Structure 1
Amino acid sequence: MASKWSYISRTVPNDASIKITTPLINLRGSEPTYKAFADQITAKREIQRDRREHMTQAASTLQEEVTPELSKAMDLASQSGASSWLTSLPIKEHGFCLHKGAFVDAMALRYGWTPIKTPTHCACGAAFVVDHILSCPRGGFPSLRHNEIRDLTARLLTEVCNDVQIEPELQEITTETMSGRSANTTIGARLDVAASGLWGGRRERTLMDVRVFNPFAPSNRNTTLDQCFRKHEREKIRAYGQRVREVEHATFVPIVMSATGGLSKQATNFYKRLASLLAEKWDQPYSTTLHWLRCSLSFSLLRSAIQCIRGARSSRGHAMKMSPVDLVIAEASLQQK
């Protein structure tokens, strides 16, 4: 009896070879012509299109039969750049390497499995599951994940832009009126990164704000990835878009990405522009530079996710806090010696 997964492996390998070589076979020993090569290229494109359609149909059929959790994991893995860590060479100097335990955890996150050898409960008392552990604020790991993406972006911007700043303070709002109710009008509000010259003008200012969301969180669990990206982008734009545009006279870019990889539309355009500038400066092909940039982001997110799973959240091992009285006594003892 045929397996229910047989449609995935349905291929006819000889048909593709015959279709591609037919224009050359028809020459029958005569000199190759432009039409023969053009027909061969057309045949290759048709085969590639048929394969893409076949794989898309197979993936859609498979997602209808698997669990919702695994279906969401498949969507996450299919995002642009989300699987870069799995296909890149393990070059240590670029940070593209994982030890065996981290690789096992990475595969568990990729397929929505429960990581092995984990405690039953988090340090905060909740059950130790991926849905919770990627968002638990205990230990500050979500903030570290955010800061790593922020610092990586700022470090790359310094290669091609001027006046790059981390956490620039926004100007105070005086007589300006913000139309949105959720607009951030607080004094001392800050964004993550600022740079000049990103979009062409040397003095044109661009302000960016990073958000890394957990796609397995209860608030995102029942929505598609596209809806999650749009929701978080709109929240950032409502909070800072008008203020940056009308008070700072700058361009605002929300950099939204999921904790397991994948970028929003505006974040994708931003990193493509950054890769284009880096490729021009480093004299490297654009495709190679973009792949390297996606690998850097992918490994950064992956290491942060693994740290959320394996990092210590308890107070054990932290430095002891001394009271002012103890500190005075300790200083007096040192002076006497």
Structure 2
Amino acid sequence: HRAEMQQVVKEGRRATDEAAKERFEDGLQQLPPERRRAVHRAIEAKTAGWVTCRPDAEDHTDLTPDEFRDNMAIRYAYEPPKMPTHCDGCEAAYSLDHALNCGVGGLVIRRHNEVVDVLCDLSAKAWGESAVRKEVVIVEPEEEGTGQKGCWPTWWCEGCGSGKRTRRLTFA
């Protein structure tokens, strides 16, 4: 009896999955080609890990509701809602492409700093808090007008890698 029940349940699940897949394909055909391509790309690449990840501020996996909505929109080739009309840094017309590439607005720098924070946090977990220093000045900036700029590594990590030397790591 138990084996018969398991077989019936398995067949029921298979039929339900097939019906859901058929409804999905029918709905997918109603989308414009670029959105259809985005959905197929997301499914084939199996890139939904961040959607099912447990939000945790310590591991930097928490998103605000706006960040979540923006990421879902970008994932499926939509413009994120609530986007400004003009860039706050350079006053150019605002678009998703501009937001990701504008060197004047704050998003490029903010994204860089967030990645550096995560990398420093991971380095500290691997080699200890005392081994990691962030934004250490190597060469002081010269006076204005000389044309020489200072050089800052993004972070230092002591005792990592072969030879346990100090590594100067930069994320550009």
Bin of the TM-score, shorter chain as denominator length: 0.5 to 0.7
Q: Quote how far apart the aligned CAs of 1:189 are.
A: 1.8
Query: One-letter code of the match for 1:196?
Result: E
3-state DSSP class of the match of 2:156? strand
Q: Higher Cα Rg: structure 1 or 2?
A: 1
* Aligned: 1:140 with 2:101: no
* Aligned: 1:117 with 2:82: yes
Query: One-letter code of the match for 2:114?
Result: E
Give the Cα–Cα distance (whole angstroms) in 2 for the partners of residues 67 and 154 of structure 1: 38
**Alignment CA distance shift 1:88-1:122 (3 Å):** same
Q: Quote how far apart the aligned CAs of 1:200 are.
A: 4.2
**Alignment CA distance shift 1:169-1:96 (3 Å):** closer
Q: Which runs of 5+ in 2 are unaligned?
A: 1-9, 12-31, 141-147
Aligned to 1:156: 122
Q: Quote how far apart the aligned CAs of 1:86 are.
A: 0.9
TM-score (norm. length: structure 2): 0.57
Q: Quote how far apart the aligned CAs of 1:208 are.
A: 1.4
Correspondence 1:92-131 to 2 at 5 A: 94-123=59-88, 124-131=90-97
Identical amino acids, percent of aligned pairs: 29
* Aligned: 1:86 with 2:48: no
TM-score (norm. length: structure 1): 0.32
3-state DSSP class of the match of 2:120? helix
* Aligned: 1:74 with 2:35: no
Q: Quote how far apart the aligned CAs of 1:93 are.
A: 5.5
Q: Quote how far apart the aligned CAs of 1:66 are.
A: 4.3
Aligned to 1:208: 169
Residues 12-32 of structure 1 deviation map (CA, whole Å, 9 limit, x = unaligned): x97xxxxxxxxxxxxxxxxxx
**Alignment CA distance shift 1:86-1:205 (3 Å):** same
Check conservation: 1:164, 1:193, Cα contact below 8 A: yes
Alignment length (residue pairs): 133
Correspondence 1:29-44 to 2 at 5 A: none
Correspondence 1:301-316 to 2 at 5 A: none
Query: One-letter code of the match for 1:168?
Result: V
Aligned to 1:332: none
Q: Quote how far apart the aligned CAs of 1:83 are.
A: 4.1
Residues 251-290 of structure 1 deviation map (CA, whole Å, 9 limit, x = unaligned): xxxxxxxxxxxxxxxxxxxxxxxxxxxxxxxxxxxxxxxx
3-state DSSP class of the match of 2:80? coil
Check conservation: 2:34, 2:77, Cα contact below 8 A: no
3-state DSSP class of the match of 1:201? helix
Query: One-letter code of the match for 2:161?
Result: W
Residues 179-237 of structure 1 deviation map (CA, whole Å, 9 limit, x = unaligned): xxxxxxx66322211212222433x22221112xxxxxxxxxxxxxxxxxxxxxxxxxx
Give the Cα–Cα distance (whole angstroms) in 2 for the partners of residues 169 and 121 of structure 1: 35
Correspondence 1:187-226 to 2 at 5 A: 188-202=150-164, 204-211=165-172
3-state DSSP class of the match of 2:101? coil
Residues 63-91 of structure 1 deviation map (CA, whole Å, 9 limit, x = unaligned): xx9449x55x937x949xx6432121234
3-state DSSP class of the match of 2:136? coil
Give the Cα–Cα distance (whole angstroms) in 2 for the partners of residues 110 and 121 of structure 1: 23
Give the Cα–Cα distance (whole angstroms) in 1 for the partners of residues 150 and 56 of structure 2: 41
Query: One-letter code of the match for 2:163?
Result: G
Give the Cα–Cα distance (whole angstroms) in 1 for the partners of residues 111 and 131 of structure 2: 24
Q: Quote how far apart the aligned CAs of 1:99 are.
A: 3.9
